[in-house]
A and B are shown apart, each in its own frame.
Chain A
């Protein structure tokens, strides 16, 4: 069975640009979450979507936005990129939302570098 897939795997952008990262959850999973992992640190929660609705948001600026599509795939958008946005962006899927505490399964991430 395919796991969580993310694209692209690597991306290089310059300051001020916009980026869109994509995620396809495990088949049958309806919840997708996004995390930012800076080198040497644990993942930091950005968003959670369940049934196409935002169900949770971490402490990130409004430059970060996301959405979930009818097929449960998701996009993370980041505007006006800053050097500090350089990180590994991880997507995780679970059967249902956080409220039922379904274990999350992660993709291998998109490594974003800002020059």
Chain B
């Protein structure tokens, strides 16, 4: 079983849609949870960072963590074509472990 698994995608949605991106993890010792956005030919850009179960909101982005289910999500409201990118979940226990990424396309 992989340490971090992520919905593989790719995912295509119309502009304005609500997007849900999901990851599961296997090690309950993981403590901190992050979402990165990666545009083509660029490095990952930190979007959200949290360490507790529950929701954390930042503008159009909401990160949700359920430690009991070992499940994390990123919601994007009012999605825009500029949100088209690969989204990576990253989880920290002793080292950072990244999911494989979900490629999102938001169509005008």
Dominant secondary structure of chain B at its interface with chain A: strand
Given A42-B100, A42-B101, A43-B98: A101 in contact with B31 (beta carbons within 8 A): yes
Given A42-B100, A101-B32: A107 in contact with B43 (beta carbons within 8 A): yes
Provide the residues of chain A in CB contact with B65, threshold 8 Å: none
Interface range, B side: 20 to 34
CA of A73 to CA of B1 in the docked complex: distance in angstroms?
36
Q: Closest residue of chain B to A9, judged by CB?
A: B41
Is B54 an interface position by the 8 A CB rule?
A: no
Contact yes or no, A106 B45, CB < 8 A: yes
Provide the residues of chain A in CB contact with B44, threshold 8 Å: 43, 90, 106
Contact yes or no, B97 A45, CB < 8 A: yes
Partner of A101, one of B4, B43, B51, B88: B51
Given contacts A56-B94, A105-B46, 15 further A-B pairs with CB under 8 A are A40-B100, A41-B100, A41-B101, A42-B99, A42-B101, A45-B97, A90-B43, A98-B94, A103-B46, A103-B49, A106-B43, A106-B45, A108-B42, A108-B43, A109-B43
